[in-house]
């Protein structure tokens, strides 16, 4: 099996990172961690075998760099809901939402659920309203390294990398129904009940993984993917072997070829180690 692997993909929250990374409430907003010594050992083994490693996540690309720290070296980062590909700090690909369309979507979101937190991301920063509750603003900073607070989203003049919704009341699947008029111009996905990600049309984990495979000269059969959320299903479609975490949603488990131990049990690292053996 190890001889056939050329690319390993993993989601972060709920997959590589421990559970604190995506718990959002008034009581807990943990940043999330992972087993760094174990990760370094596995990363060295992958390097020795010429296997590329990529994280595919909704997190801001710059925040991924912060989370991984020095361990981000030689790791492909498909960040901002896979709307960007970077490698060792160099942007290899990005797809943007036109400013006018992005502002229109934001206005629609504000009309649907005025109490949700909208995170408007451009290539330079993630913008949130300064009126949002403090605990939610702290939560945003767990996934975004460069955050700016503004009084009105109309102040943003750049195009958008993505638009994300954080709804601590868990109404994402309800809210998404009110965005149907944008389905032919944007990609919209509720990754779980508290989160919605909006990117440029036909830009998601699956399409961006295909771009990475083209860059690396890797086939679907030579790719392995790990995930736990609904937005990982497109990524699974581009991998020959897929692992849903033990803590994954039932639909994700049903779509995977295998089940890995949970994120809190270092399931990604343990599975990779077993495959390499």
Tens digits of per-residue pLDDT, 20-36?
644 433 333 344 689 99
Number of domains the chain contains: 2
Question: Which of 179, 200, 221 lies at the terminal end of a domain, its last residue?
Answer: 200
Question: Which of 182, 200, 218 lies at the terminal end of a domain, its last residue?
Answer: 200
Percent of the chain with pLDDT over 70: 94
212's tokens: 């990475």
Q: Which domain holds residue 42?
A: 2-95+203-276
Considering the domain architecture, whether residues 112 and 195 belong to the same structural domain is answered as: yes
Considering the domain architecture, whether residues 37 and 71 belong to the same structural domain is answered as: yes
Considering the domain architecture, whether residues 82 and 174 belong to the same structural domain is answered as: no
CATH number reported for the structural domain that contains residue 193 in this entry: 3.30.1240.10
Q: What is the mean pLDDT of residues 114-140?
A: 90
Instruction: Enter the pTM of the model.
Output: 0.85
CATH number reported for the structural domain that contains residue 253 in this entry: 3.40.50.1000
Beta strand 147-150 pairing with 126-129: parallel
Q: What is the mean pLDDT of residues 247-273?
A: 97
Phi, psi dihedral angles at 205 (to 5 degrees): -60, -35
31's tokens: 């940043």
């Amino acid at each position: 099996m190890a001889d056939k692997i050329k690319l390993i993909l993993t989601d972060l929250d709920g997959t590589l990172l421990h559970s604190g990374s995506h718990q959002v409430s008034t009581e807990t907003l943990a940043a999330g961690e992972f087993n760094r010594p174990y990760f370094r050992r596995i990363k060295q083994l992958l390097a020795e075998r010429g296997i590329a490693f990529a994280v595919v996540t909704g997190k801001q690309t710059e925040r991924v760099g912060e989370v991984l720290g020095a361990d981000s070296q030689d790791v492909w980062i498909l960040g901002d809901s896979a709307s960007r590909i970077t490698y060792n700090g160099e942007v290899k690909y990005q797809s943007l939402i036109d400013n006018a369309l992005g502002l229109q979507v934001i206005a629609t979101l504000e009309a649907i659920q005025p109490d949700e937190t909208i995170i408007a991301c451009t290539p330079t920063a993630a913008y949130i309203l300064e009126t949002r509750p403090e605990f939610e603003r702290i939560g945003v900073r767990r996934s975004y390294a460069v955050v700016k607070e503004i009084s009105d989203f109309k102040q943003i003049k750049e195009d958008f990398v993505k638009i994300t919704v954080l709804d601590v009341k868990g109404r994402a699947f309800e809210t998404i129904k009110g965005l149907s008029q944008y389905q032919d111009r944007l990609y919209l996905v509720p990754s779980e009940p508290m989160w919605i990600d909006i990117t440029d049309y036909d830009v998601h984990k699956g399409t961006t993984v295909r771009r990475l495979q083209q860059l690396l000269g890797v086939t679907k059969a030579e790719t392995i993917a790990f995930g736990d959320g609904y937005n990982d299903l497109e990524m699974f479609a581009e991998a020959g072997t897929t692992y849903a975490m033990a803590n994954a949603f039932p639909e994700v488990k049903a779509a995977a070829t295998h089940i890995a131990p949970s994120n809190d049990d270092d399931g990604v690292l343990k599975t990779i180690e077993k495959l390499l053996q």
